[in-house]
Homo-oligomer: A and B are copies of this chain.
Amino acid sequence: MQPIRIDDPSDPRIAGYMNIRERDLAGRQGRFIAEGKVVLNVLFGARRFEPESVLLLENRFAGMADTLSLAPADLPVYVASSEVLDAIAGFHMHRGVLAIGRKRPADTVEALLDALPPRALLAVLVGISNHDNMGAIFRNAAAFGADAVLLDETCCDPLYRKAIRVSVGAALKVPFAIGAGAGMLLESLAARGFEQIALSPSGASEITDLARADRLALYLGTEGEGLPGTLLNRLKTVRIAMAEGFDSLNVAAASAIALHHFSDKVCPAG
């Protein structure tokens, strides 16, 4: 693989990397920025995404040989000096390992659910708007073997640069689909025999008292407001016991505890 040297920050071949900090917030027609060696390894092995190009700090090229050997042989790999790379990205890139990925056509919620095995663990995210939390939840989903993540349309994008980075690539690994609203997700899951449980500080039972259904969907809501009451009324609710006088747990921390508890390792098939 021969690197292609970029000396002009306005070179059209690297236009997709221009000012990535601001552009992350806008739509990018199915494209996303992947960052760091570990994430690129996941991208090159992902079924649902394909790499479009790579942009490296020139002194990182040699150390990336193993990672790049996983990529298609005709993938363009651009290299640039630190000054040029910073001018392209719009801020100081101390790691200097970037790629642009492209989504293949996304699965619908129904198609994703229909492809699941008889025993499956899902996270269902409602209104998760913070990219750190989104990335951390995907990382926990991968760590504890969740089969997929469903999102309502008020969630932020798991393919935002920071969410992918915080997920350590898990956002490219764990299948996900976006439904119109939580009510529609609930109907689709009910039709396929999922037990549906919502995590809530006021949940009716303790999570550690619960056995795992073969098909289980775990709802997680926003930290401030939690899941809407209309949704909680239609779901079985569970809580994570906390110390007196403190009922505040970050949603990513809650997802770690709950997905760990319901993982096959802790709650194996009966």
- Interface flags for A240-270 (1: CB within 8 Å of B; 0: not) read 1111101111101110110010011110000
Q: Is the CB of B143 within 8 A of A246?
A: yes
Min CB distance, A142 to chain B, in Å?
5
Given the known interface contacts A132-B132, A260-B257, the answer about A144 and B252 at a Cβ–Cβ threshold of 8 Å is no
Q: Is the CB of B240 within 8 A of A142?
A: no
- Interface flags for A140-178 (1: CB within 8 Å of B; 0: not) read 101111000000000000000000000010100000000
Min CB distance, A168 to chain B, in Å?
6
Is A139 close to B, CB under 8 A? yes
Q: Is the CB of A249 within 8 A of B143?
A: yes
Is A123 close to B, CB under 8 A? no
Q: Is the CB of A266 within 8 A of B143?
A: no
CB contacts (< 8 Å) of A139 on chain B: these are: 248-250, 253
CB < 8 Å neighbour of A243 from B145, B240, B250, B252: B145
CB contacts (< 8 Å) of A240 on chain B: these are: 260
CA distance in complex: A154, B237 (Å): 41
Given the known interface contacts A256-B249, A257-B257, the answer about A242 and B144 at a Cβ–Cβ threshold of 8 Å is yes
Query: Interface size of A by Cβ–Cβ distance < 8 Å?
Result: 32
CB < 8 Å neighbour of A143 from B208, B242, B256, B260: B242
Is A136 close to B, CB under 8 A? yes
Chain B residue at smallest Cβ distance from A253:
B256
CB contacts (< 8 Å) of A253 on chain B: these are: 136, 139-140, 143, 252-253, 256
Chain B residue at smallest Cβ distance from A243:
B145
Chain B residue at smallest Cβ distance from A256:
B253
CB contacts (< 8 Å) of A246 on chain B: these are: 142-143, 145, 170
CB < 8 Å neighbour of A142 from B142, B243, B256, B263: B243
CA distance in complex: A249, B253 (Å): 11
CB contacts (< 8 Å) of A248 on chain B: these are: 139, 143, 168
What are 16 of the A-B contact pairs (CB < 8 Å)? Answer: A136-B253, A139-B253, A143-B242, A143-B246, A144-B242, A144-B243, A170-B246, A240-B260, A241-B263, A241-B265, A242-B263, A243-B265, A249-B256, A250-B256, A252-B253, A253-B256
